[in-house]
Amino acid sequence: MKILVVEDEEKLANIIKRGLTEEGYCIDVVYDGEEAENYAKYSSYDLIILDIMLPKKDGITVCQNLRKENINTPILMLTAKDSVGDRVKGLDSGADDYLIKPFDFDELFARVRSLLRRESFTRNPILKVGDLTLNTLTREVWMGEKKLKLTPKEYNILEYFMRNPKIVVTRTILEEKMWDIDFEGNSNVIDVYIRRLRKKIGDKEGKILETVRGAGYRLTVS
C-alpha cells in the first residue's frame, strides 16, 4: 500500500514516515500544498495523510481540488485545528477522516488501516486464492495449513497479487505501488522479493507466482 504524507513540519513528517514504513507501507512525503496536488494527480496512492495548515496552498483547498478532479483517494486530515467547525469544514471539503494533533501513533495506524480496509476491493477481510489465505485484519498468511512468516514488504506484495489474481502485474505497477518515488527501477529488488515469496509459499517451479515473459508476474488460480 502506498501513502502520500503531506506535512510541513519536517520532523513530524519524518516520524510519521518512519512509523508507517515500519508497518510495511510505502511512503512519499511532500511539504506544501502545491506539491501535494501534483503528487496526488500524477501518482497512484492508496491513501493521503493531509495537514491543513500548509505553505502555498492549505489542505482544505488541496482536498477540494482533488475531489473536483475526481481523485477519490481516501484522505485523512491531520491537524491542530480542533474545533467542531474545523472538523466539519475538513470533512465537508471531501476528507474521509480527521485526526487532531497531538495524536497517538497507535490511533493514527488504526485509522490508516480502517481507511485502507474501507477502500479494499472487497469488504471481506479474508482473501483466498488457491491454497493461499490472507487475513487483512491480522496480516496473517497461510499456505494450506501452514502459517507463513512474511516481512511487511513481502506481505504487501503478496496481498496485492491476491487482490489481483490471474492479472499480469508489471514491474512498473509493483514499483509504483510498493516503493517510494526514490526507488531505482533498474535494480533487481523486485526479483529478489519474488524469489523470497516463491520460496515461502513453496512455489519452487514458479507455477503459482509465475513469470510472464516480457510483461511481469501473475498469481495463478488453480
The β-bridge partners of 132 are 129, 143
pLDDT score at 123:
56
**Per-residue pLDDT for 214 more than 90?**
no
CA distances from 162 to 91, 154, 167, 219 (A): 32, 12, 10, 7
Q: What pLDDT digit, counting tens, does each position of 73-123 carry?
A: 999 998 887 788 888 888 888 999 999 988 888 899 999 988 987 766 545
Give the chain's mean pLDDT.
88
Q: What are the tens digits of pLDDT across the range 2-55?
A: 899 999 999 999 999 999 988 888 899 999 999 999 999 888 888 999 999 999
Question: What pLDDT, on the 0 to 100 scale, is given for residue 179?
Answer: 79
pLDDT at 55: 95
Model pLDDT, residue 120? 61
In the CATH hierarchy, which fold is given to the domain comprising 126-219?
Arc Repressor Mutant, subunit A (1.10.10)
Per the DSSP assignment, residues forming a β-bridge with 29 are 5
Structural domain spans, the chain: 2-117, 126-219
Strands 47-51, 75-79: pairing kind = parallel
Residue 60 has pLDDT above 90, yes or no: yes
Question: What pLDDT, on the 0 to 100 scale, is given for residue 47?
Answer: 94
Pairing of strands 209-212, 216-219: antiparallel
Task: Identify the three-state secondary structure at position 58.
Answer: coil
**Does 57 have pLDDT greater than 90?**
yes
Backbone angles phi, psi at 38, to 5 degrees: -65, -45
Cβ–Cβ < 8 Å for 51, 6: yes
Distance, in Å, from the CA atom of 19 to the CA atom of 188, rounded to the nearest integer, reads 26
Nearest C-alpha neighbor of 151 from the set 115, 203, 192: 192
Q: Where is pLDDT greater, at 221 or 75? A: 75
The DSSP secondary-structure symbol of 125 reads: S
- Give the DSSP per-residue string, 176-204: HHHS-TT--TTSSHHHHHHHHHHHHTT-T
Burial label for 63, CB within 10 Å (0-12, 13-18, 19+), is buried
Q: How confident is the model at residue 194 (pLDDT cuts 50, 70, 90)?
A: very high
Q: List residues bridging with 14 in a β-sheet.
A: none
Q: Give 122-179 pLDDT, tens digit per residue.
A: 456 788 999 999 988 788 999 999 999 999 889 989 999 998 888 899 888 888 888 7
Predicted confidence band of residue 186 (pLDDT cuts 50, 70, 90): low
Q: Quote the CATH superfamily of domain 2-117.
A: Response regulator (3.40.50.2300)
Peptide bond into 55 cis (omega under 30): no
List Cα–Cα distances, 76 to 23, 59, 101, 110, 168, in angstroms. 17, 11, 12, 12, 31
Dihedral angle computed from the Cα positions of residues 107, 113, 114 and 118, in that order, rounded to the nearest 10 degrees: 160
Between the two ends of the chain, the Cα-to-Cα distance in Å is: 26
